[in-house]
Amino acid sequence: MAVIALVSAKGSPGVTTAALACALTWHRRLVLAECDPSGGSVLAGYLGGALDGPRGIGELAVGELRDGSLESAFWSQLVDLDAPRRERLLLPGVVDPAQAGSVTPLWQRFTDYFLGLERGEPPYDVLVDCGRLQVTGPPWPILRAAAVVLLVTRAKLPDLSATRAMVRTIQRDFTEHRVPPGTLRLLPVGDGHASGEISKALGLPVIARLPDDPRTAEVLTLGGTVRAGRPLMRAAGALEVPIRALLDRRRARLAWPAAQGVPHAL
């Protein structure tokens, strides 16, 4: 499927929880990359700090700035979430605030590398937790290059109000950088307004909806046994279907003019 990014406008609507639930249930090989400039939480939370030594995007950034070692060091910085199969891999986010200064200048470099993973052998999709956009140094290059950007929001009015402003911000940026239309989709979480109401109010399609599931969210945040039959895990697994369908339709649309010998506009 390529690069799929998740992002939120404000607060804590569960971007990391949603991304991790997807990473643990989707069927294709994938790398879950924590690219939230405010820091990663999976290593210390879901994995309980069980790994010794530094690991993740911060270490990669320091090495890349020092001697251009991203390609040679990338795979050694990943954590196997389904060991030893290496089909669900985690690139942990920054844990030391000082690392954020090294990561921010390299967002484009990481973007280019993530895009190449789909063409690797074996190929990997990349699921990117971009956190909140209202921080210093957000990963705009990743969002602009992603095949799909999921804007995660609570379904109640205060959150939707903040999300409406963020929709406008993202759409302005995407227009300026000629991002193909149809990239941005809404992913509401929990109870509140109906999906149709949310879509109409924000002017964007709702790709799916994730339920409130505090028990599973706590496990994904603090560690424990993930139960595949829980509502959040079932909904996260089902999210793979509409995303893949969206990408298939887009690829067919782009391929059709080329097959007819007619240039197409992106």
| pLDDT tens digits along 138-168 | 999 999 999 999 999 999 998 999 899 999 9
Q: Please determine, for residue 65, whether its predicted confidence score (pLDDT) is greater than 60.
A: yes
For 90, list phi and psi in degrees, rounded to 5: -115, 130
Count other C-beta atoms under 10 Å from residue 205's C-beta: 14
Separation between Cα atoms, residue 147 and residue 2, nearest integer Å = 6
Query: Contact at 8 Å (CB) between 2 and 126?
Result: yes
| pLDDT tens digits along 124-142 | 999 999 999 888 889 999 9
Q: Name which of 37, 35, 61 is nearest 134 in CA terms.
A: 37
pTM of the model: 0.92
Report DSSP letters for 65-133, one per residue: HHH--HHHHGGGG-EETTTTS-SEEEE----SHHHHHHHGGGHHHHHHHHHHHTTSSS--EEEEEEEES
Q: How many CA atoms lie within 13 A of 110 on its CB side?
A: 34
Q: Which domains does the chain have, with CATH numbers?
A: 3-248 (3.40.50.300)
